[in-house]
Structure formats: structure tokens, C-alpha cells
Amino acid sequence: MQKDEVSPRHPRATSLRIRAKLVHGFKIGVTSPFGLFAHGRGEAFDYLIGEITTDNAKRAIKAAVARLLLGENSVLSVNGNVAALVPEGLVKLAKVSGAKLEINLYHRSKEREEAIARVLRDAGAKEIYGLDSAFQETIPEIHSERRVVDHRGLFIADVTFVPLEDGDRTEGLVRLGKQVITVDLNPLSRTAQMASITIVDNVVRAVPLLISSARKLRKEPKKALQKILDNFDNKQNLAEAIQLINERLHMLAKTGPSDIGR
């Protein structure tokens, strides 16, 4: 076995394999060093959730897909963490939902943009927005480097999918009247709280479910998709996600640690 390979017998093999993907992403210039910290924060919340996709997250996933399919201009925003973790998934999700892919970074550099574009192309992406300076626009409502967007993508988007996002941009995008879908393991983060649809789950579990759900729902009429959205209340769903962590911790405090650290 190679030095950084993970033994399948390790009790936390899945979690370690996800880490290894990020470390690889860092080595090839895709993930920023800050992305490794962000992942650590996510891991801690995943522990609290039980490292599963809850029914609560599944409801948000269904609503997110309905929203993506109903969008006139839906855009999946790609950062260094998701490019390392789920490149093929993002490309597939763009294909099945009809959304565009745009690279948009918090810690922006030409080198990282190019490294991410390579990873996406290797995963099958044909068209990637956010790379051509001729189409650059600036969104003044956003204060980080993320304010620089592609005119053909995030600038005109009505629906944006921004997994592992920072609160500033989520707030800015919402202020611009865009629908914001996020995946964030931390239900207390500013992004989770501000987004229009919040999927409290690990992006590595959520993206495959978004794809399978999009394959099913894209056959549905617009009216049926709208009904899914009408029946979804993000504030209520998010409150339930926090409550689920609370209940799980209460249960574990009573039954002991047998269920912890699978």
C-alpha cells in the first residue's frame, strides 16, 4: 500500500479518503490552503449529523433540483474544494439540469482557475465560464474576489448553486434577487442561514443525489416542479436540521458513544 493510500479496514476510511482528495487537490493547485481549514470545519459538523444524508437534506435536495430545473439561467459555481471533491458530479449535474458551470474563487488566482478548469475538462466539461476576461463583470454588492463574475454566467443567473460558500457572497447574491442554493454541513453558518435553499449535507453525498433527482424530475411538468417549491420552507427545514443534531446529541449522551465515529 502506498504511503497516502487509505486502508479499507480503517474504521474512518470514507472520511480519510475524502481528506486525501482535498490534499491531492491542494498539491495540484486546485484547493487553497484555506480550503483545507474549511473542510475541517465541515468534518466536525458531519460528525454531529452522523455522516449520513438525512431525510431533511433529501427534502432540500428535491427542492434544489426543482429550482435548478425551473431557472431560466441556472449556474453551478465551482470553487477549489468542490473541484477537488466532486468534479465529475458537477459536470453531470450541469448536464442533467441544463445549468452552466462557472469557476468563481474566494482566493482568486489565474493559476488556480486554470488548474480547476483542467480538472473540470478531464471530468468531461465542455463549456466553462469565468475564465475569459473579455466577459468579466463586477458585482458591487459582493466585497471579496468573488465579485468578479462572467457576464454570460453568474451575472445574468436567476438561480445559483453555491456549495461551501462564504456568507458575504450569499448575502450579495440574495440582495441581487437571485435564488441561492447551497450545500453546507454547518446549519449555523451565515450562508446556510441566508440561502434560499440550504442542503445540510456533505457535498460528496449530496451531489450524486442531486443528479439522480434531476434525472427523475426533469421529466416532470413545470407545474409539478413549482408545487415542490411551494411545499418547501427553507427556514423551517433549516430549523429542523439544527433540531436533528440536538436530538442526536441528546440520544448519544444517554446511550454512550457506540454510534460515534463510524
Binding site for ligand PTJ (CB under 6 A): 32, 34-35, 38-39, 41-42, 45, 79-81, 105-107, 164-166, 183-186, 189, 202-203
Cβ nearer to ligand PTJ, comparing 166 with 171: 166
Cβ nearer to ligand PTJ, comparing 150 with 225: 150
Minimal CB distance residue for ligand PTJ: 42
From the CB of 258, what's the least distance to ligand PTJ, in Å?
Answer: 25
Cβ nearer to ligand PTJ, comparing 35 with 225: 35
Give ∠ CA 73-53-13 in degrees, rounded to 5.
Answer: 115
From the CB of 198, what's the least distance to ligand PTJ, in Å?
Answer: 11
From the CB of 188, what's the least distance to ligand PTJ, in Å?
Answer: 8
Q: What is the DSSP letter of 6?
A: -
Output the nine-digit C-alpha cell for 248: 442526536
Here the contacts of 233-237 (C-beta below 8 Å, separation 24 or greater) are: 234/60, 234/63, 234/195, 234/196, 234/197, 234/198, 237/56, 237/59, 237/60, 237/198
From the CB of 97, what's the least distance to ligand PTJ, in Å?
Answer: 19
From the CB of 130, what's the least distance to ligand PTJ, in Å?
Answer: 11
Cβ nearer to ligand PTJ, comparing 180 with 225: 180
The half-sphere exposure of 137 on its side-chain side, counting CA atoms within 13 A, is 13
CA dist 94 and 117 (Å) reads 15
Cβ nearer to ligand PTJ, comparing 115 with 214: 115
Q: Cα separations (Å) of 128 from 96, 125, 201?
A: 16, 7, 26
